[in-house]
Amino acid sequence: MRLIDQLAANRLYYHRPLATLPDILLIDIPPRFAGPGLALDRYYPVIFESLAEVHEFEVFLCEPRAALVPPALLDRRPSAMRADHIVVARYRPPDPHWPWLQLCCWPARYKAMVREAGAAFARGAYTVDAFVSADDIDAAELRLHTALGCQRARDIRWMSDTAGHA
């Protein structure tokens, strides 16, 4: 069996809103494997920092195997992205039936505040959240801004390809 035929049969690429950000592949996990721990209880994001990683991952999905495995090939690979500020980027869904994504890249000083940071950050640097609508992602950005407080607000770089958001 191959992941591309089963676990990752339904997937969509979200292209980076800016050249310095990664692309994201969002896998809609079949209901029998979905549940808590996945974005919106069903989506598994995969972060690509290069075209070579995209190709490597596609080969991984197409490999024949005896049993299904999590599509976690890149999850623990260290990120090449270095940020002095929190980078918050929204990814518009390429298809209106798919969710909006919010990717955050966290500088080392923020990651150091989290217990078990290795498990909390994809590729050691990122968090990805999914939202049903633009209104939901707007509200999440407001909550993030509020949670970080006025002192840290200057440490945030908001990135978006959506008019009216920066």
pTM of this prediction?
0.89
E strand map for 49-139: 86-91, 100-105, 126-131
> Per-residue confidence of the chain (166 residues) as pLDDT tens digits?
999 999 999 999 999 988 889 999 999 999 999 999 899 999 999 999 999 999 999 999 999 999 999 999 999 999 998 888 888 999 999 999 999 999 999 988 887 888 775 678 999 999 999 999 999 999 999 898 888 775 555 567 777 654 333 3
Q: How far is CA 143 from CA 7, 93, 149, in A?
A: 33, 21, 10
36-47 in b/e form (b: 16+ CB < 10 A) is eebbeebbbbbb
Single-letter code of the amino acid located at 86: I
DSSP code of residue 4: G
